[in-house]
Amino acid sequence: MTPATEPPVASAPGGGLSPRPFHPHSNHRPPRSGPPPQRSPARPEGPIPPSRLRLLAAVFPVLLGCQTPTPAATTPSAAPPAPAAATPSNASPTTKRDEPNTLHGIYSEAQAARGAEVFDRICSECHEAADWTDPAFLERWEEASVFRLWHWVYERMPHGNPGTLAREQVTDALAYIFQLNGLPAGPAELASDDDSIDDYWIIWSPNDAPILR
């Protein structure tokens, strides 16, 4: 197990790890902006289209007998009604919850099972599974990108011996972390290339109030 030379670094049970403040990766791509804001809905259909109304206004006096062209009639009586104000109704600001994220089944069960093996073989030397359901951990990574967490682990773990994990081991370990937190598995594995892991935000719970930014 641990070479005697290195003092056990972490995981005082209960005490947990005290990772340094989060360092954003410089190579993280800027978050994509969400889909363009919705245009106001198509003009609501009024009961009578203005063109139609104008026609009615022209015909109406005729139908009434048309004897008295009163001065009042000179006022433009049939100004088309202003279209009902197009309310922005349900146009809510875009959040990371609206974009592809960890609530969407982005890893597979088989992948999480492999991640559990990685955990048992490598990570459990210093970590307990509970490290990754700890509220402080969750809060630290809430709404970060999967890309960020992935690179954090890839470049720094195992502590004291970084650079020894295969890309797939990191991805599988993340799948295990997602599973531990009850995030849904899906039909497809999360691939280990940068483009794939950069597709998703980390959202731990469908119930949290969204953090708008």
Under the rule (CB under 6 A), what is the footprint of ligand HEC? 9-10, 17, 19-20, 118, 122-123, 125-127, 137, 140, 153, 156-160, 165, 173
Give dist(CA 179, CA 107) in Å, integer.
9
CB of 43 to ligand HEC, least distance (A): 51
Query: CB of residue 203 vs ligand HEC: minimum separation in angstroms?
Result: 16
Q: How far is the CB of 200 from ligand HEC (least distance, A)?
A: 16
Nearer to ligand HEC, 103 or 122 (CB): 122
For residues 145 and 102, is the Cβ–Cβ distance under 8 A? no
Measured from the CB of residue 151, what is the shortest distance to ligand HEC in angstroms?
A: 11
What is the closest distance, in whole angstroms, from the C-beta atom of residue 160 to ligand HEC in the complex? 5
Tokens standing for residue 32: 């994509």
CA-based nearest residue to 149, from 180, 129, 170, 124: 170
Nearer to ligand HEC, 173 or 203 (CB): 173
141 vs 199, which CB is nearer to ligand HEC? 141
Cβ nearer to ligand HEC, comparing 78 with 191: 191
Neighbours of 34 (CB within 10 A): 12
What is the nearest approach in angstroms of ligand HEC to the Cβ of residue 97? 21
- 5, amino acid identity: T
CA gap 173, 185 in Å, rounded: 14
Rounded CA-CA distance 107/165 in Å is 19
Within 8 A by CB and 6+ apart from 113, the residues are: none
DSSP-derived letter for residue 14 is T
- Residue 5 per-residue DSSP state: T
Residue 19 or 105 having the CB closest to ligand HEC: 19
CA 139, 145, 146, 152 torsion: positive or negative?
Answer: negative
Cβ proximity to ligand HEC, 104 vs 140, nearer residue: 140
